[in-house]
Amino acid sequence: MQGQGGFARWAEEEWDRTKETGTFIISLDFELYWGVRDKCPIERYSGHLQGARLAVPAMLELYKAYDVHVTWATVGFLFCRNKRELLQRLPKRQPAYEEQRLSPYPELHQIGQSELDDPFHYAPSLIQLIRSCPHQHIGTHTFSHYYCLAPGQDVYTFQADVTAAIQVAGEWGIKIGSLVFPRNQINEEYLAACAEMGIACYRGNESTWQYEADGYGRNSLLKRALRVADSYLNLSGHHCVSLEDIHKSYPFNIPSSRFLRPYSTRLRVLEPLKLRRIFSGMTFAAKHGLVYHIWWHPHNFGVNLTENINSLHKILKHYKKLQERYGMKSLSMEELSEQILTQAPLGKPVEEMRRGCIL
């Protein structure tokens, strides 16, 4: 490995100054227990969920210090201040999943009355904290953590669900412009419906087969092993994307480049490899005018909070170096889509793009 001076000279030689400025994007799947309720008993996951409530303000402090713009894809249930409000906001059309455990609706009677007695199912205080921090944008993770590829659901219940999410956010004065599909179950047949509801962008998946989602939320042992290995070694590329590629369809697909895997005591010896993998992708994007998109869940930081925040700190410090050296900028998903709509680099009228046409 070269010294810092050698790396800097090499980087300058490789930098293509004719390209667009690179873009660094962070999106977070803010879901608390709604995102794992069908996977893990609450008793087993309470440490992560309690820690998530400490992780959110800790992350916000770093974002503020480094002037980083972030999209918080938030489950609509979390906006509700109490159980009565939540029950009043339920959509009339609800998914009829073949696997009944996927639906949270039959279990709503079991949750607490408000954030005070049930901090795992409500989060208005955290949402308010996010709103009060500069350059933080709130998108949707659907209303009920809706599974868009699960057998038994359809576009009508999807529209009802997302409409409920948009409405509850609207009561807070928040205009929803982005969507992260729960479990990354991207249903391309639903994208036109997203455009009709005013959603300008969504987070797509990495382009290699091990990152494809299925409707049952199951992944083969081989897929899981390759994903883990790819977090530490460059097995599938940097997964950066150009603005031109993002511009090809509407709503805009702003795909993931990397999931920030949480700190593991068992794999702590590999932490330097994980960070180097991320740094390398960020640097590649900065030098070639591409978009690098990293994501995770706040509850991923809930255990080993100090170590996870330290990793994030290192990532943001690296971003700052790339900003100073190459002009890399930090944008939320919403800001990037608005930039594309405003510039319309391929010459298509903005209103034509908003109607969801293919460019």
pLDDT at 222: 84
Residue 145 is assigned to a structural domain of this protein: yes
pLDDT at 218: 59
pLDDT at 213: 80
Question: Domain span at residue 232?
Answer: 21-354
Residue 233 to residues 114, 122, 227, 283, 287, Cα–Cα distance (Å): 44, 38, 10, 16, 20
Structure tokens at 142: 């659907």
pLDDT at 10: 41
> Which residue has tokens 């998914």?
95
The CATH number assigned to the domain holding 209 equals 3.20.20.370
Residue 13 is assigned to a structural domain of this protein: no
Domain count across the chain: 1
Closest CA to 104 of 124, 129, 130, 78: 78
pLDDT at 347: 44
pLDDT at 318: 98
- In one letter, which amino acid is 24? F
pLDDT at 221: 83
Low-confidence ranges of the chain (pLDDT < 50): 1-13, 345-347, 349, 356-359
Residue 339 is assigned to a structural domain of this protein: yes
pLDDT at 83: 98
Closest CA to 195 of 356, 85, 37: 356
Residue 2 is assigned to a structural domain of this protein: no
